[in-house]
Amino acid sequence: MPHALTLNAGSSSLKFGYFQLRDDGADPEARIVGLVERIGAGERAHIRARGPDGTVLVDEEFGRNHVPDHAAALGEVVAFLRAQRPDARFAAVGHRVVHGGPDFDAPVELTDEVMQRLAEFQPLAPLHQPHNLSGVRAAFDLFPDAVQVACFDTAFHRHHPWVNDTFAIPRKYYDQGVRRYGFHGLSYDYIAGKLAEIAPHLHMGRTIVAHLGNGASMCGLMGGRSVASSMGFTALDGLPMGTRCGQLDPGVLLYMLQTEGMSAAEIQDLLYKESGLLGLSELSNDMRTLEAAAKDNERAREAIAYFVFRIRRELGALAAALGGLSTLIFTGGIGENSAHIREKVCAGMDWIGMELDEGRNQRGEQLISTDFSRVRILVIPTNEELVIARAARDMVAERKDAAE
């Protein structure tokens, strides 16, 4: 059977998945999932991967400078996969691309023309888009015969109502593509599909999904479709994140420019790399570190408190946009693993119909609301790689049908 490779390139990491494509159209089967992290000149990159049963297949650190860029990281991934599966035939490579701009609202086969257009969106996602496209170029070189498929984080949100899609600035900017795009769409796509599978009656209702991780956002769904998102034109807006600021008065930027004399590049670095949980705590961007330090570190406690406050504020705003709420879903690294954050978010939310079951929450069960809660509260692990693999499968099938 043919196989697909999924690639999710971050600023210094490369997530990958090795999937078997089925002839019957069923979901691709994950055979290997892994990550190369600490990519970059002067760094000691690290690769780890697991099989479908959780067995560790590799957990190794490379020498310094051995993996200076994403092309080198992909080379190591391919060498590892070919050693594990020498008979693998890659029919497709699926890529997570953060920004599809106003043009792309569905997965698309990557061509030179599409790549040129996507490169124009790099200023809209400077931490992600350049690395996403770097991974694509490396995959073109290594797999010249495979179908290369782009899956966009913005695509899931491209049919928002106009009032949730625009800013109150001159309309010419909207026509130029300055609008609210929303992100984490691959995660929301998976969660919407999973909810339809496990609880169809909830899927048809009003749902808020909290994707909480180093990157964090929230999305309001009506019948599984995105109605409103906390993120906007770039991946800076909305909730505070590991190193990103979240919602910010534009006047702060004017202050930095006019009073502080900062350059655009300096402001970009501050907002993307020095803010969020790291900037508030002056300790770490990792919630696990902050929770461990919170007992003795006031700034760690304050960073956590601000993170929770903004989630609760966005929860109320999205419930208003939806006209009510039937389901709240936690996902992402923090959402899936931090019972403490879930508890703080839900505390005192009985006014909106939420009642958390402390025992279920601490045990990390899928349903963590009480039996009497009007709003169902769920924890559902996300799976962006599977969404990418599905798109790769569909593109391979389309090519096959066109050739027949």
Here the tokens at position 317 are: 């705003």
Q: How would you class 111 by CB atoms within 10 Å of its CB: exposed for 0-12, middle for 13-18, buried for 19 or more? A: exposed
**Residues contacting 275, CB < 8 A, separation 6+:** 240, 243, 244, 245
Structural contact between residues 1 and 22, judged by C-beta atoms closer than 8 angstroms: yes
Instruction: Give ∠ CA 65-38-387 in degrees, rounded to 5.
Output: 130
- Of 153, 165, 237, 357, the catalytic one is 153
14 CB-near residues (< 8 Å, 6+ apart): 7, 8, 35, 36, 37, 39, 70, 73, 74, 77, 135
In the structure encoding, which two tokens stand for residue 41, read together?
A: 């000149």
- The alpha carbon of residue 334 and the mean position of all alpha carbons in its chain are separated, in whole angstroms, by 12
Question: How many C-beta atoms lie closer than 10 Å to residue 304's C-beta?
Answer: 22
**Residue 153 a catalytic site member:** yes
Q: CA–CA separation, 46 vs 39, rounded Å?
A: 8
The CA distance from 172 to 62, in Å, is: 50
CA nearest neighbour of 209 among 217, 200, 201: 217
- Enumerate the active-site residues: 153
